[in-house]
Structure 1
Amino acid sequence: MKRIHDPLQLRKILSTHDIYRFFDADITPYVTMMTYEPGESVLTAGDALTHYLLLVDGRIKVSYLFENGKTMAVKFYHPLTPIGDIEYLRDVPLLCNVDAIETSSFIAIDVQTLRTHFSNDVAFLKHLIESLSDKLYATVNNNAYNFIYPLPNRLASYLLHQPSTNNVIVLHASYLEIADFLGTTYRHLNRTIRMLVDEGIIEQRDHEIEITNRTHLEMLAKSTYIGTT
């Protein structure tokens, strides 16, 4: 993990991503930038939250840790996702593991600084409310979708929500992580992918999926996941 303290560079990043809108007061003196390499742990479940993080570049995976040591992928996030909003408000240890999938950079603000200088900041409190409501809506939507629809529908929805170039999707998550997110097993996911390949809907090449029949895939999807990329 690398830290950047350069005020000029930080001010440029804050302006580029319009992060000033999340606060009524100027936060420049209180922020640092943290950069993590792919596969590096950003936060660990059970630890105390020391910094409130805003993802400004890259891609991260959030995983829930069960008591038996197993983990389940909860979300894959792109900018501008806040990390630590629940733990900050409830003053509890971190609920999930957070790992960098790509080189990922965060604007970081010390939790004690937030409590001292921004606990009554209306814009920041509004930002927290919006963040939590978005995450709650996404969780309810995705859990309901996993419960109601069979795996072919869920996989179709997941694929349609991924960024693609000329209908080619590069999967940055492993197939095991995708299976966790879709609420299924690695074996069942592979069978379903083969079924879509056999039906001429997609083609599979290692960590690339090519959509060969988008119309059929959209009909199969029914709805879309939220916050899956």
Structure 2
Amino acid sequence: MKEIKDPALLETYLRDYELGSVFYEKIRPHMALYAYDRGELICSQGESPEFLYILVKGKLKVFMTNAEGKTLVISFKTALELVGDIEYVQDTDILNTVEAATGVHMIAVPYRILRKHGREHAPLLQFLLNVITKKFYLKSNSISLNMMYSVDVRLASYLLAVSSDESHNPVPGLLSTAELKDVANLIGVSYRHLNRIVLQFCSNGLLERKKGGIVVKNPDGLSKLAIRNIYEY
């Protein structure tokens, strides 16, 4: 993670996403722009948060880890998205771990500044209300869709989410065998069943097995099979 000391770029993001009135002049001087490389953590489950993050470029992966160490991917997020909004409103620890799925740009706003200058600032409160209610609506819709679609559609959708950037361009990389076990948990099937689907995808030219995992060979074919991306919302 590194800070991008470019006030003009920060202002461009605020203008492009129409956030100027939300983060007004008393908040603006305390905002910072950061760049994260793919695989870097923005925040971790259980941590005490200090910042509200605004995703303005790139894609995030949101996941949780249980007491046995198993991970469950919840969703992939693209701009405009907030991290730490529910925690700010509820004054709780971080609910889920958030990782950069591609290179990302995040605007960070300290909670202490929001509490000092934002508690009665109507545009900020309305913005948070819209974002949080949209999250719950999309989450509910995603759960329903996940239950309705077949395993091959769910797997194709997940593979598209994990192997493309925010503009749906392919991102090279290997999906490891360990990650496949997490994928099985996410889409609700046994690891053995998932492997059968992976073999089927390989025989159809959609995937290719390599040492340690799989790579997407035909994203267009996966896209046709997936119908829509269930895990990006």
TM bucket (normalised to shorter chain) is: 0.7 to 0.9
TM-score (norm 2): 0.78
Q: Offset of 1:212 from its aligned partner?
A: 6.5
Q: Which residue of 2 aligns with 1:208?
A: 216
Moved more, 3-12 or 209-218: 209-218
Q: Would the alpha carbon gap of residues 75 and 124 (structure 1) be closer, same or farther in structure 2, given more than 3 Å must change?
A: same
Question: Counterpart of 2:225 in 1: which secondary structure?
Answer: helix
Contact 2:53 2:107 (C-alpha < 8 Å) held by counterparts: yes
Once residues 3 and 168 of structure 1 are traced to their aligned partners in structure 2, the CA distance between those partners, rounded to angstroms, is 26
Alignment counterpart, residue 194 of structure 2, candidates 186, 189, 194: 189
Q: Offset of 1:153 from its aligned partner?
A: 3.2
Moved more, 81-90 or 185-194: 185-194
What are structure 1's unaligned runs of at least 5 residues? Answer: none
**Percent identity between the aligned chains?**
28
> CA offsets per residue over residues 185-220 of structure 1, 9 Å max, x none?
44433321333455x5x52234224157689736xx
Moved more, 64-73 or 45-54: 64-73
Q: Would the alpha carbon gap of residues 73 and 55 (structure 1) be closer, same or farther in structure 2, given more than 3 Å must change?
A: same
Q: Which residue of 2 aligns with 1:144?
A: 144
> CA offsets per residue over residues 71-114 of structure 1, 9 Å max, x none?
21111112211001110110000011111222222101000100
| Residue 128 (structure 1) aligned with residue 128 (structure 2) | yes
| Residue 41 (structure 1) aligned with residue 41 (structure 2) | yes
Contact 1:10 1:28 (C-alpha < 8 Å) held by counterparts: no
Question: Counterpart of 1:12 in 2: which secondary structure?
Answer: helix
> CA offsets per residue over residues 162-195 of structure 1, 9 Å max, x none?
869xx98547683525444433344433321333
Q: Which residue of 1 aligns with 2:211?
A: none
Moved more, 31-40 or 181-190: 181-190
Once residues 37 and 157 of structure 1 are traced to their aligned partners in structure 2, the CA distance between those partners, rounded to angstroms, is 23
Q: Offset of 1:129 from its aligned partner?
A: 1.6
Once residues 192 and 123 of structure 2 are traced to their aligned partners in structure 1, the CA distance between those partners, rounded to angstroms, is 46
User: Which residue type is aligned with residue 120 of structure 1?
Assistant: E
> CA offsets per residue over residues 30-66 of structure 1, 9 Å max, x none?
2011222222221011111100000112222111121
Q: Which residue of 2 aligns with 1:68?
A: 68
Q: Offset of 1:116 from its aligned partner?
A: 0.8
Once residues 192 and 101 of structure 1 are traced to their aligned partners in structure 2, the CA distance between those partners, rounded to angstroms, is 24
User: Which residue type is aligned with residue 193 of structure 1?
Assistant: V
> CA offsets per residue over residues 112-167 of structure 1, 9 Å max, x none?
10011011222212221221122212221222223333312323455677869xx9
| Residue 81 (structure 1) aligned with residue 115 (structure 2) | no
TM-score (norm 1): 0.79
Equivalent positions of 1:1-229 (< 5 A) are 1-20=1-20, 23=22, 25-26=24-25, 27-158=27-158, 169-170=170-171, 174=175, 176=180, 178-196=183-201, 198=203, 200=204, 203-205=206-208, 206-210=214-218, 217=225, 221=227, 224-225=229-230, 227=232
Contact 1:58 1:79 (C-alpha < 8 Å) held by counterparts: yes
User: Which residue type is aligned with residue 14 of structure 1?
Assistant: L
Contact 1:170 1:207 (C-alpha < 8 Å) held by counterparts: no
Aligned pair count?
220
